[in-house]
A and B are shown apart, each in its own frame.
Chain A
Amino acid sequence: MSLGVRETVQAVLRDVFAEYGPEDAPLPAFQDHQVMLESGLDSLAFAVVVTELDDRLGFDPFTEAEEPFYPRTVGEFISFYEVSAQGRAGS
């Protein structure tokens, strides 16, 4: 069975951190309370995460949002994707 949204987002955060994160930095746990800006992922890495998730999940909630949304924590980021996925499943 394929990964759920939460697991997919966390896997992508880790993958992108390994390639685009600061060199020689330890891999963060990406727990829900982690502040995105303090995770070591800058705006480019963040764009890579969103792009990669678009490829893996088939949607980009930032494109679909009616207003700009800036998730502050990893938890907010994940739930942004989960809510969008639920909206798609329900429609």
Chain B
Amino acid sequence: MTTLRQALQRVPPGREFLVGERATRTFGDVANLHWSQHFVPRAVALTCEISETALPILAALDGAVDRVYLGPQTPATGVVEVDCVAAALDHVVSSAGRTDWVFRTSGTSGPPASLAKASDSLLPSRKVAAGEVPRWGLLYDWWRFAGIQVFLEAAASGSSLICPAPGDLARRALVLQEQRCTHLSATPSLWRRLLTAQPSGWTNLRQITLGGEVVDQQILNGLRRAAPAARITHIYASTEVGPVISVQDGEAGFPVSFLNHNPSGPPLAIDDGELLVQPAGTEPQWFRTGDLVEVAGDRVLFVGRSSSVINVGGEKVQPEMVERVLLETPGIFAARVLGTASSTLGSIVSADIVVLQGLDPQVVRQAAVAHCRSRLPRHAVPARWRFVEELDVTRAGKIARA
């Protein structure tokens, strides 16, 4: 088993690691800190921004304590607060080199929940080609699962990690460009906004990673145009089971053949339209992902979360599917679909739409209604339309559905 500490120590010393708006430090500087032998808590909670101080603490904690809780920062001071939950109750390290890292899930369709994760299942499996020195950008909160994945990927490949300060996405995009970011991971919602923030394209990018939401063909095509030289990988992973599926052929969904053999992750199955996963060591149990899929030809396509279903007069509507159809309509830049109360049908499908600049929303609406009617069951056609400047995106980069 490789611990996080070992993974971090693979980073060649002397290479700059945290760049951008954080102090530039070499990894050699920061890896030299060791957890005090005389004061070892069993569990710690880290509530901080990523900083040069956070790194060595992460590295030192792994394998040294039983459990690390990662939480949202409190004040934006950039200071690591080490709250010793069970501080120094026992000076004996009993974790036998195995630490549970506790993340908060992004709470796409409900309140955020905490989940424990053993550190070895967090480690990236992808090997980086020799000679390729990436410069990873970090747009996620580092203390969430998606952020830690980027963080580890960067550490394991000897990459620099560019961390724009939280705030306006257009400004963060500019920092990434100025710092010559070559590798970037974001949700489809964030990518849509990144593409508008830099309409001239992302020609520096060599690796584009998408995940966290349903990845549709439209955003894959848009990224291909904006970054012709990049490899585009869409991943399916969850805080609960870790990385599951990785696809690089530029097509939405994943090949049906993955159901027989998943080349980069655990076994997969479909039951009653829901994707099941069997993480290593859990046989014969299957984990129900809550993600609905459908088979179309030789692809398995993601339909949406089972928990986000809208009940329209007794008929079930998957909002993500309606969003995909809306995004096919010329003139629609972004779409969010949710159920709102209706006095006559219980719930109706409501669409929040961002139109491309300069277009008349009413004209776009007419085209969208016509397109939805041609592509969707009757009850799935949005009944209420709102035109907004932009869509709310959660801190995890996903469309806010609450």
Partners in one complex: yes
Interface residues of B in 142-174 (CB under 8 A from A): none
Stretch of A5-13, A24-32, A45-53, A83-91 on the interface side: A45-53
Q: Which residues on the B side are within 8 Å of A3 (C-beta)?
A: none
Interface SS, B side: mixed
Given A19-B366, A47-B383, 6 additional A-B pairs, CB 8 A: A23-B373, A44-B378, A44-B381, A47-B345, A48-B383, A51-B342
- Whether B378 contacts A51 by the Cβ 8 Å rule is no
The verdict on A43 contacting chain B, using a C-beta distance below 8 Å, is: yes
> Which B residues lie within 8 Å of A20 (CB)?
369, 373, 381
Category for how many chain B residues contact A: 10 to 19
- Residues on B lying within 8 angstroms of A by beta carbon are 312-313, 342-345, 348, 366, 369-370, 373, 378-379, 381, 383-384
Q: Which of chain A's residues has its CB closest to B383's CB?
A: A48
Contact residues of A: prevailing secondary structure: helix
- B342 contacts which chain A residues (CB < 8 A)? 47, 50-51
A contact set with B: CB distance below 8 Å: 19-20, 23, 42-44, 46-48, 50-51, 60, 62-63
16 inter-chain pairs at a CB distance below 8 angstroms, sorted by A residue, are A19-B370, A20-B381, A23-B373, A44-B312, A44-B379, A44-B383, A47-B313, A47-B342, A47-B344, A48-B383, A50-B342, A50-B343, A51-B342, A51-B384, A62-B343, A62-B344
* Residues of chain B lying within 8 A (CB to CB) of residue A50: 342-344
Q: How far is the CB of B325 from chain A (nearest CB, A)?
A: 16
Give the residues in chain A near B313, CB-CB below 8 Å.
43-44, 47
Q: State in angstroms the CA–CA spacing of A68 and B384 once bound together.
A: 22
Give the complex CA separation of A90 and B233 in angstroms.
63
- Among B343, B370, B373, B384, residue most surrounded by chain A Cβ atoms (within 10 Å): B343
**Considering the chains assembled together, what is the distance between the CA atoms of A33 and B383 in angstroms?**
26
Across-interface contacts of A60 in B (CB, < 8 A): 343
Using CB atoms, name the residue of chain A closest to B365.
A19
